[in-house]
Amino acid sequence: MASVVGTMRTARLPILVAVLCASVALAADDAELISAAQATIATFKKTDPKIDKFFGSAAGYAVFPTIGKGGFVVGGAGGDGVLFVGGKPVGRSSMGQATIGLQLGGQAFSEIIFFETPATLSDFQKGNFALAAQASAVAISAGAAAQANYEHGVAIFTATKTGLMYEASVGGQKFGYHPFASKAK
């Protein structure tokens, strides 16, 4: 029994190290983060041009170029992003997530959250915004945006960058927001 516990602890170590390294790597300065967010937008548009309908109609959108995620029964995820209003970067956002359940592995992914109304956008900017575990995201692929709709004022798109994660877990995402200083725009 002791060897099983030791093996489980050993198996968790690389995942925890990867998540910690990813979170340090994600802490970029504002200009780098804006550039990475703009590149992420370009990638999503190239993958599925129909996503333009969301960019054109949303009150705003938060772009997270890289979110690191890892877990072994208990897991977590986190990353920094940029909030865009009127197509212009207006602030920095952070996302944190804790999960519990059947899960093993680690991955990095990109996420874009579109806010349908000014009220939903305002909730995000005030820090009153979290996504419940039941929130559904659309994996970006050619044509995926054509079938996607807003749910509870948001539409969420993701794209896996690297890694592999087996998961049947429960957890929600919590967000923070800070406006940029005028020089970062």
Q: Best-predicted range by mean pLDDT among 62-66, 137-141, 162-166?
A: 62-66
Q: pLDDT-derived band of residue 112, with 50, 70 and 90 as boundaries?
A: very high
Q: Where are the domains of the chain?
A: 2-184
> What amino acid is encoded at 179 in this protein?
P
Whether pTM > 0.85 for this model: the answer is no
How far is it, in rounded angstroms, from Cα 7 to Cα 17? 16
Residues 9-29 as b or e (16 or more Cβ within 10 Å = b):
eeebeebeebbeebbeebeee
3-class DSSP assignment, residue 138: strand
Kindly report, residue by residue over 22-68, the tens digit of the pLDDT: 444 444 599 999 999 999 999 999 988 989 999 999 999 999 999 88
Q: Can you give the pLDDT at residue 6?
A: 43
Reply yes or no on whether the pLDDT at 113 is more than 90.
Answer: yes
Q: So what's the pLDDT on residue 13?
A: 38
pLDDT category, 121, cuts 50, 70, 90?
very high
